[in-house]
Amino acid sequence: MSTPYAKLPAWADYGLIPLINLSVAFIVAGFVVLLVGENPLRAAVILVEGAFGKGTGIAFTLFYATTFIFTGLSVAVAAHCSLFNIGTEGQAYIGGLGIALVCLSFDSTLPWWVIFPMAIVAAAAFGALWGLIPAYLQAKRGSHIVITTIMFNFIAASVMVYLLVGALKPAGSQAPQTRNFLAGAELPKLNWIIELFGAKIRSAPLNICFLLALVMAFLVWLLIWRTRLGYEMRTYGHSPKAARYAGISETRIIITAMMISGALAGMMALNPVMGDQHNVAIDFVSGAGYVGIAVALMGRLHPVGIVLAAILFGMLYQGGAELAFEMPAISRDMIVIIQGLVILFAGALEHMFRPYIQTLFASFSPKSVGMQAVKGTGA
Amino acid sequence: MAQAAIELIGINKSFGAVRANRDINLQVARGTIHGIVGENGAGKSTLMSILYGFYQADSGEIHVGGKPASIHTSNDAIALGIGMVHQHFMLVDNFTVLENIILGAETDALLKSSIAKARSELDRLEREYGLEVDPDAVIEELPVGLQQRVEILKALYRGAEILILDEPTGVLTPAEADHLFRILKQLKEQGKTIVLITHKLREIMAITDTVSVMRQGTMVATRVTKETTVGELAELMVGRRVLLRVEKGESEAGAIKLSVKNLTVKDSRGVTMVDNVSFDVRGGEIVGIAGVAGNGQSELLEAISGIRHAVSGEVTLDGKPIDLTGKADPGELRDRGLAHVPEDRHHVGLVLAFEENENSILGYHDDERYLKGPFLNVDAIMADAKEKIEKYDIRPGNPRLRTANFSGGNQQKIVLAREMEQDPGVLIVGQPTRGVDVGAIEFIHKRLIAMRDQGKAVLVVSVELDEIRSLSDRILVMFAGRVVGERGPDATEGELGLLMAGVEHQEAAQ
């Protein structure tokens, strides 16, 4: 039998199983909270209220989600081509360099709506370039993409440190970051949308990158399922032999997929750099690339799932910050533990409960699982 | 009738909604060879898996030697004296014969006494049943026929009184198969009971005492072999009369469409798999390549279709040269009118995770008909897939269904429909009916003949000698990477068998 699991109905596959995984993650996290002597239910309430209770919270949640949508999409595009891009972190970091170059050059002369498209192109191009090198090494030399992309994260970090304490740092400044951009390189906020619903927002960094992220999610869907290139990527992803048979060039498809993945990663930098900090600082990506892996896995590599998973992680970031503030016993590190549990259950142990659910479904309505006759192995 | 060695009463087994076995009753008499035939998916393997403890029946009883038995694991089956020889051998390739025999039956941690005991026991078994194998040979260095013998020895070593053989001749040459049958007869004479699962009716006729026919999960008939015919069994299997031999007219061979000269191909380890092979295929003829699997046929097909680079050789397609040593890729060859139905449809010819309609354009996905600029023309692809489903009777007829959920025969039809409907000049087909049930075989053979009659050049590689003989206008036999002979379609099985075994070739070399 070639498929390890029979198929579940779509709603169970994409709704029920993630929900169960998530619940288990929260239950286990609850025990951790209990262990440090706090009330897990109150902690959960603070977490959710912190993320969605007030307008400002929602805006912050969506701001973080924007970042994770980009990195999640980046990981997913490569994964559809069976490439495990761990280098989203570094590609995003280098994407920030592209943005810095555009913004520092033009922020005094051009308006934001001219600079923004230029910055998008620069971020995508720099990220793609950082994905290209490992892709080339994989396609031509067989160097494993997991290893090379991890190494390129370190190289990216070193390059950026070198530039941010040197060439990009304004003379006389003590901080390892570029000068602050002028108004021309600041992106419009989207807080007014939330205010339309009557919520009050003090100040939050939610900006038009959120819309860009949603557009990219749609474009990724289009790419993967509706274009010839996406078809070729999926063919290679499922079966390199079938791709060879179909006349798809292995080199071309690996390089293309990784460049698109890198471009999406690079575009992530637009959100914090142009939308929030208005400068490029050391370590501004701060792990969002790795969170992207969890987001992509939890979203089942589908853009809709990725957007939802990104919002979940945005909630954990925002609500977690509130929680650390409200409950001193729960430190910032505790939040990281909770996030880790979510990643563990939703990502790594994704299939843990699947066989049980399947048995359950099969016993209620066998038709729903689309079980096939067990075929004889006769030649 | 002798006492029943195995008796199955009212066995039912469902997988979800599919009833793989329904209300099966079966009696196998002691000391006989009992055949079980049926199409793929008829439930034979499921039934035997229940008997061997891989699956549990939902209901029903198993009696072994007249006593009710409960079989939950294969260890239970072994304890009851039931041994199984699997179609895909369960041997450790880099172990010796002896090590494989004692695997799972070790008696002590240091193995020393196990090995000594096994050696003397093996010696006795070999003499008793004429199953000579060097106990110290490493499995991977043995030919398949001998590996199978090791599997049988393994079962006997564990004290099997009842042997189940699942498609045992699939990988054997005719000579090896004959030898196997002699061994089975000898085992029978010694009082062992043998259950033979196969879809080759000729084997049933040749060796079994009784035969049971399964169809769609039910046991439709049991016959005494002497009192039945191949025709009757085939009819029982599919529920209607089928052509065992395709009807076809004389071929009208035209111009040379595919010419192969001095083609040499090496595998990834650098071993020469195709050695200086030359042949032509003309329009309007089917050339069949016979041979035991592993004699270079697969590599030949891969090289001609551009999947594997050849080392040297001159190949022309429609009179124009193609460079198979590095330049040509499958896409280019396809553009030039060469269609390829690969041997391995699961990994090469299809992407099993894709929907049916996505597979119906694999390799032709860059064709303008299926595209709108960079986008897939989903409507056109769907319409095209539906047309092929209709024309090739692909079931179930749902182009959105995952390809993995189609049966083997229908998967093969998806590939064939895709390749044939592109109207290629040359069609090369590897194992056209491997894992395909009888009804679909007939359909596929007719389609191949129709291609020939339209003036296409068709090259067929198959390990099924019957298929080669029934389809081909000319038969080439490959042995050890070379074409060792060419015969007409009326060549006898024995003649081809000798060629396939390399006998004539070796004599000529001496």
- Interchain pair A247, B334: CB under 8 A: yes
**Band (A201; pLDDT cuts 50, 70, 90):** confident
First vs last C-alpha separation in chain B: 53
**Band (A379; pLDDT cuts 50, 70, 90):** very low
* Residue B41 pLDDT: 66
- Assess whether B186 and B313 both reside in one domain: no
Please report whether residue B291 resides in a domain: yes
- Assess whether B154 and B29 both reside in one domain: yes
A367: nearest CB among B15, B17, B331: B17
Convert the pLDDT of each residue in B404-454 to its tens digit: 888 888 899 999 999 999 999 999 999 998 877 777 888 999 999 999 999
Please report whether residue B374 resides in a domain: no
* Residue B40 pLDDT: 65
Write down the residue that tokens 């798809």 correspond to.
Answer: A248
- Interchain pair B434, A226: CB under 8 A: no
What residue in B sits closest to A361 (Cα-Cα)? B16
Cβ atoms of A243 and B363 closer than 8 Å: no
On chain B, the residues whose CB falls within 8 A of the CB of A249 are: 329
- Assess whether B76 and B222 both reside in one domain: yes
Please report whether residue B247 resides in a domain: no
* Residue B55 pLDDT: 86
| Total domains present in chain B | 2
* Residue A184 pLDDT: 86
Sign, CA torsion A76/A78/A79/A85: negative
Full residue range of the structural domain in which residue B273 is found? 256-350+423-509
Please report whether residue B358 resides in a domain: no
Burial code (b: 16+ CB inside 10 Å, e: under 16) for B195-211 equals bbbbbbbebbbebbbbb
CA A250 → CA A238, A241, B304, distances in Å? 13, 10, 19
Query: What percentage of residues in chain A have a pLDDT greater than 70?
Result: 94
**Band (A373; pLDDT cuts 50, 70, 90):** very low
Please give the full DSSP string across B87-108, using - where no structure is assigned.
SS----TTSBHHHHHHTT---S
- Assess whether B165 and B261 both reside in one domain: no
- Assess whether B150 and B46 both reside in one domain: yes
Listed residues B187, B209, B238: the one ending a domain: B238
A367 has pLDDT over 70: no
* Rounded distance between C-alpha atoms, residue B163 and residue B129, angstroms: 14
- Assess whether B234 and B262 both reside in one domain: no
The domain spanning residue B38 has which CATH number?
3.40.50.300
Cβ atoms of B463 and B470 closer than 8 Å: no
- Is beta strand B371-372 parallel, antiparallel or unpaired with respect to B162-166? unpaired
Q: How far is CA A70 from the centre of its chain?
A: 5
Q: Which of B65, B81, B70, B77 is nearest to B3 (CA)?
A: B65
| A227 near B CB under 8 A | yes
- The distance of B373 to chain A (nearest Cα, Å) reads 9
* Rounded distance between C-alpha atoms, residue B467 and residue B462, angstroms: 7
Please report whether residue B268 resides in a domain: yes
Please report whether residue B471 resides in a domain: yes
Supply A293's token pair: 């892996």
A371 has pLDDT over 50: no
- Assess whether B434 and B346 both reside in one domain: yes
- Assess whether B234 and B340 both reside in one domain: no
* Residue A368 pLDDT: 46
Helix/strand/coil (H/E/C) assignment for every residue in chain A: CCCCCCCCCHHHHHHHHHHHHHHHHHHHHHHHHHHCCCCHHHHHHHHHHHHHCCHHHHHHHHHHHHHHHHHHHHHHHHHHCCCCCCCHHHHHHHHHHHHHHHHHHHCCCCCHHHHHHHHHHHHHHHHHHHHHHHHHHHHHHCCCHHHHHHHHHHHHHHHHHHHHCCCCCCCCCCCCECCCCCHHHCCCECHHHHHHCCCCCCCCCCECHHHHHHHHHHHHHHHHHHEHHHHHHHHHHHCHHHHHHCCCCHHHHHHHHHHHHHHHHHHHCHHHHHHHHCCCECCCCCCHHHHHHHHHHHCCCCHHHHHHHHHHHHHHHHHHHHHHHHCCCCCHHHHHHHHHHHHHHHHHCCCCCHHHHHHHHHHHCHHHHCCCCCCCCCC
In the predicted model, residues of chain B with pLDDT beneath 50 are: 1, 505-510
Convert the pLDDT of each residue in A297-322 to its tens digit: 888 899 999 999 999 999 999 998 89
Q: Which of B363, B462, B343, B373 is nearest to B422 (CA)?
A: B363
Select the residue from B197, B327, B351 to test the A interface by mutation, using most A Cβ atoms within 10 A. Answer: B351
Average pLDDT over residues A256-265: 98
Please report whether residue B438 resides in a domain: yes
Q: How many CB atoms lie within 10 A of CB A21?
A: 22
Q: Which of B374, B263, B251 is nearest to B309 (CA)?
A: B263
Cβ atoms of B259 and B280 closer than 8 Å: yes
- Interchain pair A242, B351: CB under 8 A: yes
- The distance of A91 to chain B (nearest Cα, Å) reads 26
Convert the pLDDT of each residue in A140-183 to its tens digit: 999 999 999 999 999 999 999 999 999 999 988 888 999 999 98
Query: What percentage of residues in chain A have a pLDDT greater than 90?
Result: 63
Supply A95's token pair: 């994407």
- Assess whether B126 and B39 both reside in one domain: yes
| A374 near B CB under 8 A | yes
What residue in B sits closest to A229 (Cα-Cα)? B374
A36-348 adopts what CATH topology?
Answer: ABC transporter involved in vitamin B12 uptake, BtuC (1.10.3470)
Q: What angle, rounded to 10 degrees, do the helices at A332-343 and A288-298 form? A: 40
Cβ atoms of B503 and B479 closer than 8 Å: no
CA A299 → CA A87, A294, A304, A337, B197, distances in Å? 19, 8, 7, 20, 45
* Rounded distance between C-alpha atoms, residue B285 and residue B248, angstroms: 11
Sign, CA torsion B366/B370/B373/B376: negative
| A81 near B CB under 8 A | no
- Assess whether B167 and B289 both reside in one domain: no
**Band (A4; pLDDT cuts 50, 70, 90):** very low
Q: Which one is predicted more confidently, A360 or B28?
A: B28
Please report whether residue B414 resides in a domain: no
- Assess whether B329 and B475 both reside in one domain: yes
- The distance of B297 to chain A (nearest Cα, Å) reads 17
Cβ atoms of B342 and B300 closer than 8 Å: no
Lowest mean pLDDT among A66-80, A345-359, B299-313: A345-359
How big is the A-B interface in CB pairs under 8 Å? 136
Write down the residue that tokens 């071993």 correspond to.
Answer: B271
On chain B, the residues whose CB falls within 8 A of the CB of A377 are: 45, 87-88, 166-167
* Rounded distance between C-alpha atoms, residue A324 and residue A286, angstroms: 18
**Band (A378; pLDDT cuts 50, 70, 90):** very low
On chain A, the residues whose CB falls within 8 A of the CB of B43 are: 376
Tell me the longest C-alpha to C-alpha distance in chain A: 78
- Assess whether B303 and B223 both reside in one domain: no
Q: How far is CA B330 from the centre of its chain?
A: 26
- The distance of B124 to chain A (nearest Cα, Å) reads 32
For the question of an ipTM over 0.90, the answer is no
Listed residues B238, B265, B300: the one ending a domain: B238
- For residue B402, give the DSSP letter: B
Q: At a CB cut-off of 8 Å and minimum separation 6, what does B28 contact?
A: B4, B5, B6, B7, B34, B162, B193, B195, B210
Listed residues B238, B271, B300: the one ending a domain: B238
B351: nearest CB among A238, A369, A370: A238
B45: nearest CB among A232, A369, A377: A377
Write down the residue that tokens 């009326």 correspond to.
Answer: B490
Q: Which of A163, A103, A265, A235 is nearest to B403 (CA)?
A: A235
